[in-house]
Structure 1
Amino acid sequence: MTNPTALPRHPEPADGAGEFNRDVIAEFRAREGAVGGDLAGMPLLLLTVAGARSGEPRTTPLVYLPDGDRLVVFASNGGSEKDPVWYRNLVARSEVTVEVGTDRYPALAAPVDPAEHDALWARQIAAQPQFAGYRTAARTVPLVALTRV
């Protein structure tokens, strides 16, 4: 019998994640959470969530903001008018796996309380100014809190 709380070994990147994400994921794991290039020095995690329809594990590299005992990620999709696939998947299934450095653990994902949204967004822009360009008038970027279980 399969242990339902067991973490998946190392799931493949999400379909359509592209070569860039696959390379980032491979480098992240090979270098114990460190990556180079445009992402060098950024707080980066790997988020694994089950596909909403397939149930298959999907992994995405994301920049995060530490906030107390949780990590906050931003469903900005690079400023697109659409939510990213990883966000749509975790709306359907809130149980996720988080990898930060060499630490890998199960977590629960939940939308950030609307009262916290703007303050967290401002903190992220202060930390990573390029995030200011990801905010569009077409939608409010969802913020997601990841809490270790």
Structure 2
Amino acid sequence: MSEPISRPNDFDLGIIAEFRRSSGRVESHGFASRVVLLHHIGARTGHTRVTPLGAMPYEDSWIVVGVPTPSGGPAWAMNLRVNPDIYLEVGIDLVAVRARALEGEERTEFLG
């Protein structure tokens, strides 16, 4: 992955630290084992970023959902559109994955 690593905000740093101390569990904010650490590349900067996200396991993959913002969506979602080959930290494992947006019936199934 690209360097340098960009620094997450203090809230995210706390989640990341608890995740890593507890082999992927984050009890302090109610995530339990439904959190992953998304290792992604900044679309504009090329810097590696780590973002904790609530996630739902689905078949052999994970579903993460970004909530739209006035500027168009979370930055990590834009980063995945530009650089979809990423890593997920799941428990104690670092897994290479290819991100993709849900479309059509699949999107309706999860998002209504």
Q: Is 1:108 equivalent to 2:111 in the alignment? A: no
Q: Is 1:62 equivalent to 2:53 in the alignment? A: yes
Q: Which residue identity is paired with 2:98?
A: L
Gaps of 5+ in 1: 1-6, 123-149
**Structure 1 counterpart SS, 2:94:** strand
- Quick one: distance in 1 between partners of 2:30 and 2:76? 19
Task: Please state how far the C-alpha of 1:115 moved relative to its aligned partner.
Answer: 1.9
Task: Please state how far the C-alpha of 1:41 moved relative to its aligned partner.
Answer: 2.2
- Quick one: distance in 1 between partners of 2:73 and 2:104? 17
**Structure 2 counterpart SS, 1:26:** helix
Q: 1:92 to 1:60 in 2, by over 3 A?
A: same
User: 4+ runs of 1 displaced by more than 6 Å?
Assistant: none
Corresponding position of 1:120: 110
Task: Please state how far the C-alpha of 1:27 moved relative to its aligned partner.
Answer: 1.2
Taking structure 2 as the reference length, the TM-score comes to 0.85
Taking structure 1 as the reference length, the TM-score comes to 0.66
Corresponding position of 2:81: 91
Task: Please state how far the C-alpha of 1:116 moved relative to its aligned partner.
Answer: 1.1
Q: 1:58 to 1:44 in 2, by over 3 A?
A: same
Task: Please state how far the C-alpha of 1:21 moved relative to its aligned partner.
Answer: 0.5
More helix by share: 1
Task: Please state how far the C-alpha of 1:54 moved relative to its aligned partner.
Answer: 1.6
Q: CA RMSD in A?
A: 2.1
- Quick one: distance in 1 between partners of 2:110 and 2:48? 28
Corresponding position of 1:4: none
Identity in percent: 29
Residues 6-32 of structure 1: CA deviation (Å, up to 9, x unaligned): x68xx85x55x4210011011111211
- Quick one: distance in 1 between partners of 2:111 and 2:30? 19
Q: Is 1:75 equivalent to 2:66 in the alignment? A: yes
- Deviating more after overlay: 31-40 vs 64-73: 31-40
Q: Is 1:46 equivalent to 2:46 in the alignment? A: no
Q: 1:25 to 1:67 in 2, by over 3 A?
A: same
